[in-house]
Homo-oligomer: A and B are copies of this chain.
Amino acid sequence: MCSVLASEKQTFIYRLRHSLAHIMAQAVLQIRPGAKMAFGPPVESGFYYDFDFQGEPLGERDLENVENIMRRIIKEKQPFAQAYKTLDEARAFLAQTDQNYKIEYAEELVETGKAGGEGLGFYTNGPFTDMCEGPHLEHTGEVPKACFKLDRISGSYWRGDEKRPMLTRIYGLAFETKDALDDFIARRKLAMERDHRKLGEELDLFMMDAEVGVGLPMWMPNGAVVRDELEQWARESEFRAGYQRVSTPAITRSELYHRSGHLPYYAESMYPPMIVDENDEYYLRPMNCPHHHKIFGARPRSYRDLPLRLAEYGNTYRYEKHGSLAGLLRVRAMCMNDAHIYCTPEQVEGEFRAIMAMYRMYYDHLRMGNFRVRLSLHDPKSDKFVGNEEAWNRSEDIVRTVLANLGIEFEEETGEAAFYGPKVDIQVKNLLGREETVSTCQLDFVVAERFNLEYTGNDGEKKTPYIIHRAPLSTHERMISFLIELYGGAFPTWMAPMQVQIVPVKDEVLPCAHEIAGRLRGGLFRAHVDESSESFNKKIRNAVTHKIPNIWILGMKEMENRNITWRRYAVQEQQTIPLDDAIAKLEVLRKDRVMDNFAE
């Protein structure tokens, strides 16, 4: 049932998890001898087994008992022994204990020719035998000490089909060592606490609404601040790097996508067309490129104008399948830190180098350290890549050389390129180690020709530019989903929805608190006075709950001396300093975009 690479099956972790599934099933059958077994594969971070309990199923309260029996089985060092049976033998054997699910599967394996030449594989350890293709450990004693834990129970359907019987799935976690298991559990706990959907709700960052549509996030004021600050940073970085901003509509007539080649090829990822009549049909755009190409093509261009770097935080829309939507990570409306660089062949390497440096600057600054760089190449055997082999090799060489020269470690992956050229993907891992492509940078040697884009070279000849597509800060949606989880919702001062919470110790200082807040707001700082009637300690706790990076405490003494007492998020120590110094320090936090949510 699993389509797992043969090499992966030989790893210790695969055999360990697979064996633990059998050990668990043996234990479960000791408690409930009448239970029927369905499937029990190793999975990411552990294993599971599905049972039909023919009545009252096991519950969470039984898991400790199952674990105890498992530990006994492990102590017994039961060897795993393989044997083969014909279909008839298998049927007869499985019928003894009424294992109807296994019989159904055995028949399917034989019918579809998936059973090996030797017949149907069975593994036996101790009193327990299961139809299974292995491989397993040598014996149950090989299971390392305290490396597994039964995790949870859920419902599932036989063969995932809701018209078939409902089964009970028991999940276990398993790693090669106790430390790895403990680490995973700790990380999962953190990940759950920091889940961007949970924090997005708690911190009023974004929302979705059924009447507006799934996968269409609406950014509430707190979330809009984070977007705006990221975007402002990108604007400044891009201005300094010689980019020029443009602004284009999120729709187009279908003609544009017939030219670009996105239609009909890409149609299934797009929203359906808006059909005015047969000659006038519009699409929401799934990407910004063709609009930018139109701007490049609207004027005669000379080599003196190149590189031309057109940037836009562009709104795009993709009709992702309902089931694949996930918070902000996978959405249907997104805003991308996009730019297209039109350049001569000689400029490609320098531009690529500058872009990679910009990526590194962003990732370093944001403390997004948990990523790998993937060089995605074309697959010469596939027909989904446009252009000739020589051009592909030349383009891939350019990118490979740039990465090597910059000393960036990367892994090559065939078949992951864009249809128009090779790309560099930044693969970021979340707290649970799951990887997503966050940023990408693509070298395009195909599309300029489709749009008849050209420039006059210094020899007076018309030439076709290379195009680099890049989006270092990804989409707001994806990038912020990672940042929320990485920071646990505690943004640095420069990005924080509320930057300073002013906590007055008593009512007498309220006017002064408001005066300070007014001064801060006049300087475009996001500041707020806690006027509630809560106790002082509750006020501090409230500011911490809202993950406000700076609490300024104002008592009588502070007021008299024009001081404030500064307390940082989640830090006990506090410091009383002159108000003017505090504001100056705040200016620096903002101007330098200091990551004050990380200890230096």
Contacts and interface: CB of A to CB of B under 8 A. Distances in A.
A225 interface: yes
A210 B253 CA distance: 8
A256 B216 CA distance: 13
Interface stretch (A292-300, A398-406, A457-465): A292-300
Contacts of A376: none
B259 A211 contact: yes
A221 B250 contact: no
Interface in A302-323: 310, 312, 315, 317, 319
Nearest to A239: B524
Interface of A: 204, 207, 209-213, 216-221, 223-225, 227-228, 235-236, 239-240, 244-253, 255-256, 259, 271-276, 282, 284, 291, 294-295, 298-299, 310, 312, 315, 317, 319, 333, 335, 521-522, 524
Contacts of A245: 221, 224-225, 228
A271 B255 CA distance: 17
A246 B274 contact: no
Nearest to A207: B298
**Interface residues of A, dominant DSSP:** mixed
A125 B255 CA distance: 59
Contacts of A312: 224
A254 to B, nearest CB: 9
**Which of A204, A213, A315: most chain B CB closer than 10 A?**
A213
A212 B221 CA distance: 33
Closest 4 CB pairs of A and B: A221-B244, A249-B333, A219-B247, A211-B255
Contacts of A335: 247
Contact of A220 (B259, B298, B521): B298
Nearest to A223: B247
Contact of A253 (B213, B256, B259, B272): B213
Given A209-B294, A294-B212, A220 B249 contact: no
A248 B246 CA distance: 20
A524 B233 CA distance: 12
A414 to B, nearest CB: 34
